[in-house]
Structure 1
Amino acid sequence: MRFVHSADWQLGMTRHFLDEEAQAQFDQARIDAIARMGEVARAQGAEFVVVSGDVFETNHVARRVVVRALEAMAAAEVPFFLLPGNHDPLDASSVMRSATFRAHRPANVHVLDGGVVQVRPGVEVVAAPWTTKRPLGDLCRAACQGLAPDGAVRVLVGHGAVDVLSPDAADPALVRLADLEAALDAGVIHYVALGDRHSTTSVGRSGRVWYAGAPEPTAYDEVDPGNVLVVELDAGHVAVEPVQVGTWRFLRHAASLDGPDDVDVLARWLGALPGKERTIVKLSFVGTLSLAAASRLDEVLDHHRDLFAALETWERRTDLAVLPDAADLDDLGLAGYAAQALADLQQVAATDADPTAARDALGLLYRLARPA
């Protein structure tokens, strides 16, 4: 038996650093990932897809997000089993209980609202849905209570942090790995499909407990996002293959800038990156630049902001000093009030406890007054 394990679609997610055009492309990529899951399922002979929570970013996403997701799943022509997670719990406001969802849900889309669901004789899905944003116990353990080995191959679909990976040992909703492994060893369940962690991750010793990760990346600190898992399973065998479906990237890059040559190196690095319209970059800088080199850096960044989905600078990790050199000042040829302003800014930049504003003003003065 084969199936596809996915999680954390978070459809309707917005990112503050994306402009309107890039946000629309980001939204569409998450819908397109559903279509690619269908392609993977058909190519691999998978019987169904489980989505281990956080299908939607919230229970209050726009109607168009809901209907476009349902349309994409319908077109995929494979059964989808959707688990409510902490972002979209199955409470009174649940998007999966909304009139829009119910009216447009295709026959191949099923909501895992609890209990054991028979996919076909001999294959069952055990559901551990979130019904509140703050569960008071281990939902996976509760879902397995009362089950006994009966010859069926069972997939437990859950959501949340596993205790061995969580820094918050006091969280009552932690999924206890020891309990999962005991249930696996007893043959009560045969695979644990988890969501919440956006990086594809195998947990524990069994090879049967996995986070699929987000199908499209959502943040810089994700280690291996953009995958779905193709799982081949029976009572005595498991094989898990990550398959990439994501097309976006989040990149961090630290650059040491101590002259115009270093700025040119950065420009070449940015220019060589493929898929700029689907790439989000955060840059941090250390070093010292002249006004001319700093002006060149600004030009490089302004140019590439129009090419990338987003280009950010990481202020907390940046320590870049801009200090005018003799060539900078000779090029300007200032006189009168402008020359006096330049001298005053130089004095502040050299002596003030926080020279940032003065250095920024020097850079602006240089860009305005330099020869064309």
Structure 2
Amino acid sequence: MRFIATGDWQLGMTAHFLSAEARPRYQRARLDAIRRIGELAAEREAAFVLVCGDVFESNQLDRAIVARTFDVLNDFTVPVVLLPGNHDPLDASSIYDSQAFVARQPAEVTVLRDSTPFEVVPGVEIVGAPWFSKRPLSDLVASATADLAEVAPGSVRIIAGHGAVSSLDPDRESLATIDEANLRHILDSGRAQFIALGDRHATYSVTDRIWYPGSPEVTSRREDDPGNVLLVDIESESHVVSVEKIPVGQWTFTVIEAGVDSDDDVSALEARLAAIPDKDRTAVWLVLTGTLSTAAKARLDEVLDHAGDLFALVSLWERHSDIAVVAADEDFAGLGLSGYLQESLDELADRAAGDDASASTAQDALGLLYRFARSGA
């Protein structure tokens, strides 16, 4: 028996950090990733697709997002099972009870609304642990599996949960942390053959039979292995499990760290950015440290401005960056400054050399003055 495990689709994610131009492309890419999951299920002859929580970004979404989701899911050739998570819990405002969802829910799409074993295909059942609020007061997976009997011979049982397992250093104030020892006991006692979990957006193997598939499209610069789904094979008689990680995402979020202490360093950063493929689907956060002359800093600004036109995002991660600017006399020699401009230069140079809060502002202003004077030369 073969199925696809995925999770954390978070359809409707706003991605506020992206530009207004890039944001719609990113939202479309998330739907495209879901479409690729359906195609993959057909190509690899998977029996069904299991989504382990956070199908939607929230319970308050425009109905068009639900409609577009169903438009994609209608093309799936296998059943799709959805588990409500912390972003889309089964609370009073649940998106799963909205008119937009209920009126057009495809016949092959099932929402796990409780922990009653659901036979998704003959001989295979899923036991889900749906969220009913954003702050559960207990381990939902433990509650959902407390009374499970041993799996009948020739059958397969899968547990679908959402949240952080105890070994992943979760929020210590959360009462919903999933007890990993209990998960292992469930498997060892033959009460299930596989446990698929959502909430962690990067693919991660807790054990050979407990997995986080991760989000099918990257959502954060902190994710170390996003953009995948899991193709899971479980032998019905021996219950031997094999898991294959398959990439489906198209976007990349990356952090680039570089020292910039010279014009050559700026050129090296420029080349490094130029070598990145698929720039319109890549968001870059820069961690830059060093000391530059005004001329070199102005060139760095030009490099970043140009990169910003090509990439989905190029952002200086201010909290981790530290670039000092030194106003060297040779930077402005030959620019023909006089009168008010020369007076401004002298004043800014004095302030930029200081160590108070205005020094950084003065350094930025020097760069602007340099670029302005050079463009008019």
With the length of structure 1 as denominator, give the TM-score of the two structures: 0.97
**Correspondence 1:200 to 2:180:** no
1:78-227 to structure 2, matched below 5 A, reads 78-114=78-114, 115-149=116-150, 150-151=152-153, 152-204=155-207, 207-227=208-228
* CA displacement 1:5-50 (0-9 Å, x = unmatched): 0000000011222122211011111111111101111121110000
The residue type equivalent to 1:362 in the other structure is: L
Aligned equivalents of 1:284 and 1:177: distance in 2? 36
Query: Do the aligned residues in 2 keep the contact of 1:113 with 1:129 (CA within 8 Å)?
Result: yes
Query: Do the aligned residues in 1 keep the contact of 2:2 with 2:231 (CA within 8 Å)?
Result: yes
SS of 1:53's equivalent in the other structure is coil
In structure 2, relative to structure 1, the CA distance for the partners of 1:262 and 1:313 (3 Å cut) is same
Q: Which runs of 5+ in 2 are unaligned?
A: none
Partner of 2:346: 343
With the length of structure 2 as denominator, give the TM-score of the two structures: 0.95
1:1-372 to structure 2, matched below 5 A, reads 1-114=1-114, 115-149=116-150, 150-151=152-153, 152-204=155-207, 207-234=208-235, 235-354=238-357, 355-370=359-374, 372=377
SS of 1:241's equivalent in the other structure is strand
Aligned equivalents of 1:68 and 1:168: distance in 2? 34
SS of 1:353's equivalent in the other structure is coil
Aligned equivalents of 1:177 and 1:351: distance in 2? 54
* CA displacement 1:278-306 (0-9 Å, x = unmatched): 00000121111112111111111111111
Cα RMSD (Å) of the superposition? 1.3
SS of 1:202's equivalent in the other structure is strand
Aligned equivalents of 2:68 and 2:344: distance in 1? 58
Deviation, structure 1 residue 121: 2.7
Aligned equivalents of 1:352 and 1:286: distance in 2? 17
Aligned equivalents of 1:91 and 1:98: distance in 2? 11
Aligned equivalents of 2:20 and 2:166: distance in 1? 39
The residue type equivalent to 1:54 in the other structure is: D
Query: Do the aligned residues in 2 keep the contact of 1:254 with 1:284 (CA within 8 Å)?
Result: yes
* CA displacement 1:193-246 (0-9 Å, x = unmatched): 100001101114xx1100000000000110100000000013520000000000
Query: Do the aligned residues in 2 keep the contact of 1:200 with 1:213 (CA within 8 Å)?
Result: yes
In structure 2, relative to structure 1, the CA distance for the partners of 1:344 and 1:20 (3 Å cut) is closer
* CA displacement 1:152-204 (0-9 Å, x = unmatched): 21011110110111243452211111111111111111100100001101114
Structure 1 segments of 4+ aligned residues over 4 angstroms from their partners: none
The residue type equivalent to 1:270 in the other structure is: L
Does 71-80 or 336-345 show the bigger shift?
Answer: 336-345
* CA displacement 1:226-274 (0-9 Å, x = unmatched): 0000000135200000000000000100111111111111111111110
Deviation, structure 1 residue 104: 1.1
In structure 2, relative to structure 1, the CA distance for the partners of 1:180 and 1:352 (3 Å cut) is closer
Deviation, structure 1 residue 367: 1.2
Deviation, structure 1 residue 97: 1.1
SS of 1:216's equivalent in the other structure is coil
Q: Which runs of 5+ in 1 are unaligned?
A: none
Does 210-219 or 335-344 show the bigger shift?
Answer: 335-344
Aligned length, in residue pairs: 370
The residue type equivalent to 1:89 in the other structure is: P
Does 168-177 or 2-11 show the bigger shift?
Answer: 168-177
Deviation, structure 1 residue 352: 4.4
Aligned equivalents of 1:318 and 1:93: distance in 2? 42
